[in-house]
Amino acid sequence: MASSTEENYLKSLYNLANVQGEVNLSELAASLQVSLPTANSMVKSLQKSGWVIYEKYKPLTLTKEGKKTAALIIRKHRLTEMFLVKVMNFGWEEVHEVAEQIEHIHAPKFFERMDQMLGFPTVDPHGSPIPDPQGKITPLSYTPLAHAKPGQHVQLAALTNSSTEFLEFLNSRKLSLGTQLTILSKESYDQSMVVSYAHHPSETLSEKVCERLLVRVLD
């Protein structure tokens, strides 16, 4: 069984996986905030345990086992976030830290109960998909708000970034998942967009924000 540290490496590897599912050591080290040699030696040991495929100077890939293990940790993380928000009344900006700890708890029944109490949710409070109990994950197919056209009606469905600061920014604008927006205009100079939604007849969102908001196009 993986230690918490190992679980964190697998999770990072899973989340960083690029087009080919390949990740550089440096990316991994940066994402975990450890030095390159630390990541290097850990990766060697993950390889010995059969979780990653690794050859000197080559990029890293998770094995099938590694992917599944990672997905199941992410499942626990997202289920926990959902539980904190729906059952324990946390704000969506408060749940990450706690979930980072609870995801390492070994107690299948605890997470099964959460799942059941939540009615088997498929996405977490930030719209990210929750892997199923087998570690299968259905990728999202939403569009960045930045790609929407003036006149379109869209609904906020997920975020590509869930940092506390961004979530607090969204709170301050009363933007939450499900909010329906009408795109009023797009400024070609800086790609910012002017949108309207309930009680907010005109709100300007920067390019950065528009890229982080994933929407479902309604018309």
Partner DNA sequence: CAAATTTGTTAGAATAGTCTAACTTTGTAA
Partner DNA sequence: TTACAAAGTTAGACTATTCTAACAAATTTG
CA distance 216 to 203: 19
CB of 90 to a copy of itself, least distance (A): 7
Q: What is the CA radius of gyration of the chain?
A: 19
Q: Which is nearer to DNA, 27 or 211 (CB)?
A: 27
CB of 116 to a copy of itself, least distance (A): 9
DSSP string, 52-94: EE--TTSPBEE-HHHHHHHHHHHHHHHHHHHHHHHTS---TTT
For residue 149, the partner it binds in DNA, a copy of itself, none, with Cβ less than 5 to 8 A by kind, is none
Residues 6 to 25 in contact with DNA, rule: CB under 7 A:
6, 24-25
**Beta-strand (E) ranges in the chain?**
52-53, 61-62, 143-144, 153-159, 180-186, 193-197, 200-205, 213-217
CB of 92 to a copy of itself, least distance (A): 14
Q: Which is nearer to a copy of itself, 94 or 124 (CB)?
A: 94
Q: Per-residue x/- marks for DNA, 23-62, CB under 7 A?
A: -xxx------xxxxxx-xxxx-x----------xx-x---
CB of 114 to a copy of itself, least distance (A): 8
For residue 94, the partner it binds in DNA, a copy of itself, none, with Cβ less than 5 to 8 A by kind, is a copy of itself
Nearest Cα neighbor of 30 from 51, 13, 48 is 13
